[in-house]
Amino acid sequence: NAGVTQTPKFQVLKTGQSMTLQCAQDMNHNSMYWYRQDPGMGLRLIYYSASEGTTDKGEVPNGYNVSRLNKREFSLRLESAAPSQTSVYFCASKTSGQETQYFGPGTRLLVL
């Protein structure tokens, strides 16, 4: 099992460009999450999907959209990137009834 995978690993964008971060899990988990991690801020929840077909906002959703494409895949889209979105983005997943989330390796995004 690969667990949680994320692509790309690293990306540089110019202000105003758009991009989609991809996340997939092969653990048959129902719930999936997107976090961003900034120095001194810890991990903050952007969006989550408790089950296929549902998505909800987290703590810092502004400037992002998500799509739960199917049970395995959960993508995060930046429509018009801003320098404030420079961060490391982590995807996570968990199974229903359990509370432990399992994380992907992260995507480092730099917006110039």
Partner 1 sequence: EDKVVQSPLSLVVHEGDTVTLNCSYEVTNFRSLLWYKQEKKAPTFLFMLTSSGIEKKSGRLSSILDKKELFSILNITATQTGDSAIYLCAAVYNTDKLIFGTGTRLQVFP
Residues lying near partner 1 in the complex (CB under 8 A): 4, 31, 40-45, 48, 50, 58, 90, 94, 99-106
Are 23 and 85 within 8 A, CB to CB?
Answer: no
Closest C-alpha to 58, from 27, 102, 92, 7: 92
Rg (CA), the chain: 13
Residue type, 29: H
Least distance between partner 1 and beta carbon 94 (Å): 8
Nearer to partner 1, 19 or 50 (CB): 50
In angstroms, what is the minimal distance from the CB of 33 to partner 1? 8
C-beta of 17 vs 50, nearer to partner 1: 50
